[in-house]
Amino acid sequence: MIKLVNVNKYFYRGEAREVHALRDINLTIASGEFTVITGPSGCGKTTLLNAIGVLDDISEGEIWLEEREISHLSSAEKTNIRLNEIGFVFQAYNLVPVLSVKENIGFIMRLQGFDKKVIEDRVLEVATILQIDDKLDALPNFLSGGQQQRVAVARAVASKPKIILADEPTANLDSKNSTALMEMMKELNRREKVTILFSSHDDYVMKNARRTILLNDGKVVSS
């Protein structure tokens, strides 16, 4: 599904190279994996996810999504990949506050041009799996943090992307909601066959992942 070849990422201040954030990363993520990237703060977890999701450019190397090298595509081509092939779950939820839960979940599908009835059916399907089908008409601000994160997950998976990238999805949740969210994402992984790649240092997330990739100082220490 995903292959990284000698990926490096540098951050600069002016002409000076200040931070070597990713160091010669070589990884393969198979289709259907349920994998966590972990390591201490500042080790490069979010930088690596952003690189895989073509949110940020890399400095050197190659990133392949199936049979395509995606890190050197045009801006428009990268936007198309993010819209149609990758789902994102962010720590801060990033829901649209003026849209209902139903509208938030179906937002990406609307951008993709799906028929209204198809969107409604799919929204109900994923909302039921994530146990928020009784909240579809509510606005995000009237939901708990755990419920808002479930909406974010539902939005990410609704359009059936090839991969979901989740950056510290349990960081703002208590242990009860963190456990519930992980169980639901495991069910989505099993039922939808979607590849899910987390960044996290949550013990429960790491215990439930099928594979753990440990980073330190921008390097893969173990996998």
Highest mean pLDDT, choosing among 16-25, 41-50, 169-178: 41-50
Bridge partners, residue 164, by sequence: 87, 196
Q: Are strands 68-69 and 60-65 parallel, antiparallel or unpaired?
A: antiparallel
- The answer, yes or no, to whether residue 201 has pLDDT greater than 90, is no
DSSP string, 134-174: T-TTS-GGGS-HHHHHHHHHHHHHHT--SEEEEESTTTTS-
Q: pLDDT (tens digit, 9 = 90+) per residue, 129-188?
A: 889 999 999 999 999 988 998 999 999 999 999 999 999 888 888 888 888 888 888 888
- The answer, yes or no, to whether residue 42 has pLDDT greater than 80, is yes
Residue 175, domain CATH: 3.40.50.300
**Res 138: pLDDT:** 97
Residue 25 CA to residue 47 CA, distance in Å, equals: 12
DSSP SS3 for 119 = helix
Counting the structural domains of the chain, the total is 1
Q: What is the mean pLDDT of residues 32-48?
A: 93
Opening angle at CA 192, ends 191 and 197, nearest 5: 110
Give the range of the structural domain holding residue 131, as residue numbers without chain letter: 2-222
Segment (H or E) for 108: helix 107-112
Q: What is the mean pLDDT of residues 70-97?
A: 92
- The answer, yes or no, to whether residue 30 has pLDDT greater than 90, is yes
Q: What is the mean pLDDT of residues 117-136?
A: 94
The pair of three-digit structure tokens given for residue 26, joined into one six-digit string: 């070589």
Among 50, 53, 154, which Cα is nearest to 107's?
154
Is 171 in contact with 164 (CB distance < 8 Å)?
A: no
Q: What is the mean pLDDT of residues 194-223?
A: 91
3 state SS for 52-65: HCCCCCCCEEEEEE
Average pLDDT over the chain, rounded to whole? 92
The pTM for the full model equals 0.90
**Res 94: pLDDT:** 87
Distances (CA, A) of 218 to 24, 125, 164: 8, 39, 22
Residue 155 CA to residue 15 CA, distance in Å, equals: 40
